[in-house]
Amino acid sequence: MPGDYGPYSRAMSESDREALRAAYRAEAPRLRENRAAVRQGFRELQDALRADPYDHARVVAVVEAQQTRVQDHAALMRGLMLDRVAAMSPEERAAFADRLERVVRRGPPRERDRDREGQGARP
């Protein structure tokens, strides 16, 4: 699902997941820019890996830039999820904690669980 934040989003109520998806969609322009930069970074990395002479410092710089983009995306997702939690009532947070406990105990969803949840199989 767009806006998926692993076990946290799986443990949210359907209405909270929908709110998280809406918040994620609101960030779509920023996320598109980030994805475009990631794609460009892979092209730069491929060029740097093929370069002769090989420039290790260039490869390091490209990989570090990629890592920064990944961290930016994770920070955005974390912020959206925490905003959602902050909007919950004490009862909703307690129910979320109970669901999170179950989700963590069960572990990651298996293929059949994703199919049942309408998420489809992952490649």
Q: Give me the domain span that covers residue 94.
A: 7-116
CATH for 112: 1.20.120.1490
In this predicted model, what pLDDT tens digit does every residue of 21-75 receive, in sequence order? 899 899 989 888 988 998 999 999 999 999 999 999 999 999 999 999 989 988 9
Average pLDDT, stretch 66-95?
Answer: 93
* Contact (CB, 8 A) for 105 and 29: no
In this predicted model, what pLDDT tens digit does every residue of 7-21 receive, in sequence order? 898 999 999 999 988
Cβ atoms < 10 Å from Cβ of 98: 11
Q: Is residue 122 part of a domain?
A: no
User: How far is it, in rounded angstroms, from Cα 87 to Cα 9?
Assistant: 15
For the four alpha carbons of 44, 45, 51 and 53, in that order, the dihedral sign comes to: positive
Average pLDDT, stretch 98-115?
Answer: 78
Cβ atoms < 10 Å from Cβ of 69: 16
pTM, entire model: 0.69
